[in-house]
Amino acid sequence: MIVLFTDFGLAGPYVGQMKAVLAREAPAVPVIDLFADAPSFDPMLSAYLLAAYAEWFPAGTVFLSVVDPGVGTDRPGVVVEAGGKRFVGPGNGLFEPVLRRAPDGSARAWEITWAPDVLSASFHGRDIFAPVAAGLATAGADAMAGEGRLSPLPLSRLRRKNWPDDLDRIVYVDHYGNAMTGRLGYRLSTEAVLVLPDGTRVSHARTFGAVPVGRPLWYVNSNGLVEIAVNQGRAASVLSLTPGVPVVVERTSENPR
């Protein structure tokens, strides 16, 4: 299957245009809409979101991932293989957490050396990444490399070594106003307290109903990320949480990090 992860928005033509390319180039491959509202223009925030959600897809999945504020510049287009899954998109850090969490020895990368005869300066998602994703889903990276469409790329050229393993910032706000962070929940003690920029202190609860209506909590969401919510309320509004807002983890003696 091909999974779409973009910041293109839930309205407008862009996702539809990419899906039209996929339908033409790989008509038998299912296409899954995962995110069209990843953090706009922010590969770093989007990277931690992508890595968490990619965990739930099987080996062989191709992630067509486009958060690309540098489109049209000299940033490379890349394919990354990690943990049996393949990711295609800009080489701007978007796949850094995916690479870090891949089993040892399972990661490879290629630079996309192919381009269509007619190429827009501002829509590589449609013109380059979608055709390459279709090729990955139908032929595979090695076959595409053999045809000269991909060139092996040292992983060191993609890495962002100064990025943290967990990102203590809001990376996404969902339909309910719940605010996801870029921290994996299993790495955080349930005794830890999250401190927000306005000084609000948020303690752990297993789920919404474990606290009174209107009370904030942090919990580990269904995709393994630390998330901040308000029982029957919108945490994003109540606590002024938007993508990029920092969250301070107040460590305790039981914190495993």
The pTM of the full predicted model, rounded to 2 decimals, is 0.95
Question: If pLDDT is split at 50, 70 and 90, which confidence band does 251 have?
Answer: confident
Same domain, 200 and 87: no
Q: What is the pLDDT of residue 105?
A: 87
Q: Once rounded to an integer, what is the mean pLDDT over residues 236-248?
A: 98
Give the CATH number for residue 65: 3.40.50.10790
Q: Give yes or no: residues 33 and 152 share one domain.
A: yes
Q: Does 257 have pLDDT greater than 90?
A: no
Band (pLDDT 50/70/90 cuts) for residue 10 is confident
DSSP the chain: -EEEEESS-SSSSHHHHHHHHHHHH-TTS-EEEEES-SPTT-HHHHHHHHHHHHTTS-TT-EEEEE--TTTTSSPPEEEEEETTEEEEEESSSTTHHHHHTSPTT--EEEEE----SS--SS-HIIIIIHHHHHHHHHT-HHHHHHTTSEEE--GGGT--TTS-SSEEEEEEE-TT--EEEEEEGGGS-TT-EEE-TTS-EE-B-SSGGGS-TT-EEEEE-TTSEEEEEETTB-HHHHTT--TT-B-EEE--TT---
Question: Same structural domain for residues 48 and 148?
Answer: yes
Q: Is residue 162 part of a domain?
A: no
Last residue of a domain, one of 128, 157, 186: 157
110 shares a domain with 15 = yes
> Residue 110 belongs to what domain range?
2-157
Q: How many domains does the chain have?
A: 2
Domain boundary among 139, 157, 175: 157
